[in-house]
Structure 1
Amino acid sequence: MYGGGRSYYVRGRLVCGIQGAQGARVSLWERRGGATPIVYEEAIADAAGSFYVKAEIRSGAGWNTMGSFGYLTLTINHSCEGQRQMSVELPTSYFNQGIVAMKTFDLGTINLEGRFSGEETNGFIGGGRRFGSGFGMGGVPII
């Protein structure tokens, strides 16, 4: 493997209405079938709502090791219009050979006031309606 591994970089901006979603927690992790997920990095959005996270995957650990094809996922936990969580499955075309950022996936600006399919909420903080898996509390699907 070139450069001893692979890397993946993600940047974006989160807003709640017209203000930056300061304090939103962003996690970059790998889903590996039934195995325990690997969390590569977590970051807190700054006052403008901007964030930057990376996965630096060394040979012998992480993505696509020993024939395993995991998927990198970006999860956003925030408190805009209630405590909510959303996830984005990231495209594999933004992987870099080695740990130098040749390509960075730009998520763009997301207004977290909107409701997103598959989003989760804890169902009691902030008055949002229950949907998704409800942070493990059993969810009510949106139809």
Structure 2
Amino acid sequence: MMPGQAFECSLHYSSQWGMEVFLLFLLVPFVACLGGDLDVPSNVANRSMAIRGTLLCGSKGMKGATVRLFRVYQKDAIDDLSQLLDQKHTLETGYFQLEGTTAKFPTTQTEIDPFVTIHHNCDMDERQTANMGYKRWAIRLPQDYVTTGVKARKVYDFGRVNLQLQYPGEMHDKKFSFND
């Protein structure tokens, strides 16, 4: 090319609209990279988990125990209610069933490392419960039972558990209230 000669582009557009579409296709990936969060369909981003079981106090159902299903494992003894997926009180027979989803969480918090806490006063009278607090037991659940979507497609069967036994990590929680 000689100095002063005009540069010719070999791409020819039949209209101004064609150039705008071409520029739009160039800009979309660039803006998407800079734009932050992408809108992910909820059925892809959400995870869910379900669990059922029966709690016993000796040979009788443990009525009124609180079972909480959490999104992420918590090492300390305080339940982080901001991570709560579901909570129920056991029936007369000790039966419970919980199901939770990450639908209410931001799309950056859709992973589930499931665990449950059980608060109960099996073999404790009112005075002991007032002085020592409710018994609290936490257990991690298998990742295999976490499913994609807002409805759990598998249910983890916790089985029948006798709360008279002392379980590893079981402690007394004076801060727990059934009104939480």
Shared fold, TM over 0.5: yes
Q: How does 1:17-96 map to 2 (within 5 A)?
A: 17-31=58-72, 38-58=83-103, 60=107, 62-64=109-111, 71-82=113-124, 83-96=134-147
Cα distance, 1:102 vs. partner? 1.7
Q: How many residues align?
A: 118
CA separation of 1:117 and 1:89: change in aligned 2, threshold 3 A: same
C-alpha RMSD of the superposition: 2.4
The residue identity in structure 1 corresponding to 2:88 is: A
* Alpha-carbon separation, structure 1, partners of 2:135 and 2:141: 20
Rg larger in 1 or in 2? 2
1:3 to 43, 53, 76: 43
* Alpha-carbon separation, structure 1, partners of 2:108 and 2:91: 30
Cα distance, 1:74 vs. partner? 0.3
Q: SS of the counterpart of 2:114?
A: strand
Cα distance, 1:81 vs. partner? 2.2
Cα distance, 1:84 vs. partner? 0.7
* Alpha-carbon separation, structure 1, partners of 2:93 and 2:150: 27
TM-score by length of 2: 0.58
The unaligned stretches of length 5 or more in structure 1 are 65-69, 123-134, 137-143
Q: SS of the counterpart of 1:80?
A: coil
Contact kept, 8 Å, 1:2 with 1:97, in 2: the verdict is: no
Give the number of the structure whose residues are more often strand, by fraction.
Answer: 1
* Alpha-carbon separation, structure 2, partners of 1:14 and 1:61: 34
* Alpha-carbon separation, structure 1, partners of 2:139 and 2:107: 25
Cα distance, 1:61 vs. partner? 5.6
* Alpha-carbon separation, structure 1, partners of 2:109 and 2:158: 22
* Alpha-carbon separation, structure 2, partners of 1:86 and 1:12: 15
Give the number of the structure whose residues are more often helix, by fraction.
Answer: 2
The unaligned stretches of length 5 or more in structure 2 are 1-40, 125-133, 176-180
* Alpha-carbon separation, structure 1, partners of 2:73 and 2:56: 30
